[in-house]
Amino acid sequence: MEKISILGSGTMGHSIALSAAWAGQTVKVYGINEQDLETANNGLANKLGVMVDNDLFDEADAKRIKDSIHFSTSLEETVEGATFIIEVIPEVLELKKEMYAKLEKLVSEDVVIASNTSGFMPSLLSEDMIHPNRFVVTHFWNPGHLIPLVEVVKGSKTDEKTVQRAMQVIADMNKKPILLQKELPGFIGNRLQYALFREAQALLDSGAASKEDIDAAVTYSIGRRLPVTGPLMTADMGGLDVFSAISNYLFEDLATDQRSGKILSELAADGNLGDKSGKGFYDWEPAVSRKLNAERERTLIHFLKNDLQALGEGE
Ligand SMILES: NC(=O)c1ccc[n+]([C@@H]2O[C@H](COP(=O)([O-])OP(=O)(O)OC[C@H]3O[C@@H](n4cnc5c(N)ncnc54)[C@H](O)[C@@H]3O)[C@@H](O)[C@H]2O)c1
C-alpha cells in the first residue's frame, strides 16, 4: 500500500486525510504553521464527532483514525518516506509550481505527486517539472470525507503507471475514482455543475422565477433522481426520442453567458459571499446556517452509509 503524505491542512487537506485514515492508512499532513494545524485539528475533531453521532463508527474507531493522522509544519518531515504525495495548497498556480520544484529536490522520481486542484490542467501545473511523468490530478470534492467522487486527470506527460497508482490510492480510500480520457477545464463534475449554475443565474436575472422556486425546481425534481441516475442514464429511462426532440428545440434557448450573471456579480462585489459572510442569494443567520449545514451533512452521511453497505455486499 502507498505511503500517503498530504500537503495542506485546510478545508480539503484534513478531510482527505480523514478519508485515508478511516480506510485504515497512516497519513502525514503538512500545514504552514501551528495555528493552521490547530484549525485542522479542531476541524478533524468536529468531523469525527459528527461521524460518531451518526453511527458511521464508534469512539474507539474515531480515536484510531485521529491517531493515524500525523500533522507537521515541516515539509521535509512530512514527505520523508512518502510514496504518494497529494498537494492540497491554495489554488495559486505559481505557489503550486514552487511546491513541486521543492518536492522534486526532496523525493525520488518514483514518488507520485498528485494535485487536488479545482481546475488547473495537469499539463500546465507540471510544465516546469523535471519528472512530469509522475504528476497527476486527483480532484476530491468538498466535503472530502463525505463525497465519494474523485476525478483523476492525466497531463500529456503523465505515465500510465502513475495513473494506475492514483486510481488504486483512491479506491483504497473507499472513494469512487473516475478517469478523464483527456484534460479539460473544470474536468467533468464542475462542467456539469456550472452548466446548471449558469442556467439558474439566467433564470433568476430574467425574473422568470424566485430563487426559492428555482432551487425547488432542482431539489424536488431532477435532484431526487440524480443520486440514482446521471443525466445520460436518466435520458435512457425517459426515452431518447423524447430527450432528443426536447434538446432540438431547447438548446438554442439555453443560457450561453460567458461571465457570472448580474445578480451574482453584484452580490460578490458587495462582499455578500453567502454562508461565510452571512448574506448571499439568501440570508444566513447563524441558526439557519447551523441547521442547513447539519441537514446537508446528515443527508450526505445517509448516502455514504448506502455506499458502504453496497461495498460490503459486493465483497
Ligand atoms: N474548498 C473546496 O471546496 C475545494 C474543493 C475541491 C478542490 N479544492 C482545491 O483544493 C486546494 C486547497 O483548497 P482548500 O479549500 O483546502 O484551501 P484552504 O485555504 O482551506 O487550505 C489551504 C492549506 O494550504 C496550506 N497553505 C496555505 N498557504 C500556503 C503556502 N503559501 N504554501 C504552502 N502551503 C500553504 C495550509 O495548510 C492551508 O491550510 C485548492 O487547490 C482548491 O482549489 C477546494
Architecture of the structural domain at 189-259: Orthogonal Bundle (1.10)
Confidence (pLDDT) at 303: 94
Strands 4-7 and 135-140: unpaired
Confidence (pLDDT) at 314: 61
Question: What is the mean pLDDT of the segment spanning 265-275?
Answer: 97
From ligand 1's centre to the CA of 201, what distance in Å?
27
Q: For residues 28 and 82, is the Cβ–Cβ distance under 8 A?
A: yes
Give me the half-sphere count of Cα atoms (radius 13 Å) on the Cβ side of residue 26: 8
Domain ranges of the chain: 4-179, 189-259
CATH superfamily, region 4-179: NAD(P)-binding Rossmann-like Domain (3.40.50.720)
From ligand 1's centre to the CA of 23, what distance in Å?
22
Confidence (pLDDT) at 309: 85
Buried b (16+ CB within 10 A) or exposed e, 104-138: beebeeebbbbbbbbebbbbebbeebebbbbbbbb
Closest residue to atom 3 of ligand 1, CA basis: 142
Ligand 1 touching residue 95 (CB < 6 A): yes
Given a cut of 90, whether residue 252 has pLDDT beyond it is yes
Residue 175 to residues 27, 170, 285: CA-CA distances in angstroms?
Answer: 16, 6, 34
Ligand 1 touching residue 52 (CB < 6 A): no
Mutational pocket test of ligand 1: of 9, 12, 85, the residue with most ligand atoms within 8 Å of the beta carbon: 12
- Per-residue pLDDT band for 313 (boundaries 50, 70, 90) equals confident
Closest residue to atom 29 of ligand 1, CA basis: 89
DSSP labels, 196-254 = HHHHHHHHHHHTSS-HHHHHHHIIIIIHHHTTT--HHHHHHHH-HHHHHHHHHHHGGGS
Residue 179 has phi, psi (to 5 degrees) of -110, 120
The alpha-helical segments, DSSP class H, found in the chain are 11-22, 34-53, 59-67, 75-79, 93-106, 122-125, 160-172, 189-206, 211-217, 223-225, 231-238, 240-250, 262-269, 286-314
As to burial, measured by CB atoms within 10 angstroms (0-12 exposed, 13-18 middle, 19+ buried), residue 152 is buried
Ligand 1 touching residue 162 (CB < 6 A): no
- Per-residue pLDDT band for 215 (boundaries 50, 70, 90) equals very high
From ligand 1's centre to the CA of 9, what distance in Å?
7
- Per-residue pLDDT band for 107 (boundaries 50, 70, 90) equals very high
pLDDT digits (tens, 9 = 90+) for 17-30: 999 999 999 999 99
- Percent of the chain surpassing pLDDT 90: 96
Confidence (pLDDT) at 145: 96
Ligand 1 touching residue 177 (CB < 6 A): no
Ligand 1 touching residue 116 (CB < 6 A): yes
From ligand 1's centre to the CA of 257, what distance in Å?
29
Q: For residues 176 and 141, is the Cβ–Cβ distance under 8 A?
A: no
Average pLDDT, the chain: 96
From ligand 1's centre to the CA of 191, what distance in Å?
21
* Angle (CA) 189 190 194, round 5°: 125
Ligand 1 touching residue 118 (CB < 6 A): yes
Three cell numbers written together for 251 = 438548446
Given a cut of 70, whether residue 245 has pLDDT beyond it is yes
Closest residue to atom 8 of ligand 1, CA basis: 118
pLDDT digits (tens, 9 = 90+) for 282-301: 999 999 999 999 899 999 99
Given a cut of 80, whether residue 237 has pLDDT beyond it is yes
Confidence (pLDDT) at 302: 94
From ligand 1's centre to the CA of 10, what distance in Å?
5
From ligand 1's centre to the CA of 222, what distance in Å?
31
pLDDT digits (tens, 9 = 90+) for 116-149: 999 899 999 999 999 999 999 999 999 999 999 9
Confidence (pLDDT) at 312: 76
Question: What is the mean pLDDT of the segment spanning 100-126?
Answer: 97
pLDDT digits (tens, 9 = 90+) for 72-93: 999 999 999 999 999 999 999 9
Omega cis (within 30) before 185: no
- Per-residue pLDDT band for 315 (boundaries 50, 70, 90) equals low
Ligand 1 touching residue 88 (CB < 6 A): yes
Confidence (pLDDT) at 138: 98
Confidence (pLDDT) at 310: 83
pLDDT digits (tens, 9 = 90+) for 164-199: 999 999 999 999 999 999 999 999 999 999 999 999
